[in-house]
Amino acid sequence: MSLDLDTVTKLAHLARLDLAAEEREHLVGELSKIMTFIEQLREVDTEGVAPMTSVAHMALPRRPDLVSDGNCRDKVLANAPDAQDGFYLVPKVVE
């Protein structure tokens, strides 16, 4: 499929792209190549082929969905510039 300059200009307008004239001329060729490739893909017979999400058939590992505190409060607070009684200390910002 071959696209013309008017079609590319309309597509740019619909996509809210502000393209210079030389950019539009360049995109005419690029988008035409993409459309040609899509036409080639349409010719492939995919009847009876199940959709895939991956080329490897494997189950993803599952873990229990449990809520926890992470049990690492001391490690987290070690990153704080100032902490007291298990909490971050921050300067007062509201008067």
Mean predicted confidence (pLDDT) in 78-93: 89
Crossing angle of helices 21-42 and 5-14, in 10° steps, is 90
Mean pLDDT of the chain: 88
SS3 61: coil
Instruction: Determine phi and psi for 83, rounding to 5 degrees.
Output: -140, 155
Mean predicted confidence (pLDDT) in 12-20: 93
Query: What CATH number should be reported for the domain whose range is 5-42?
Result: 1.10.20
Q: Residues of 20-49 as b/e, b for ≥16 C-beta within 10 angstroms?
A: eeeebeebbeebbeeeeeeeeeeeeeeeee
Domains in the chain: boundaries: 5-42
